[in-house]
Amino acid sequence: MAYAVACSADGESHGRVAERLGVGQGTLSRWIRRRRRAKGSVRAVAIVPATHGRATPSASRPPLRLLTPHGFVVEGLDPELLVSLLQVLG
């Protein structure tokens, strides 16, 4: 999101940024609006062990599952990748 907001602030259209990120323009525009409204707010997230039968990314750590307040689910990430995703999403 930080990247998309920066591109938008530089005058790039949401359509061009969305294309580079591989998401729809409407989706990206909605995310940017929500981010602007929620700037400075804290978002609750829950990190729970995955309950599916996929192989773990690391034998010493199980994959994680991210469930956002809006119902989006991201599964199978190791902790480092999950932190990176959360930093990008804000």
Separation between Cα atoms, residue 50 and residue 74, nearest integer Å: 10
The pTM score is 0.40
Question: What pLDDT tens digit does each residue of the chain (90 aa) get?
Answer: 788 888 887 888 888 989 988 999 999 888 888 877 766 556 667 777 766 554 445 556 666 777 777 777 777 777 777 777 777 776
Domain ranges within the chain, ordered by starting residue: 2-38, 46-89
64-67 vs 46-49, strand pairing mode: antiparallel
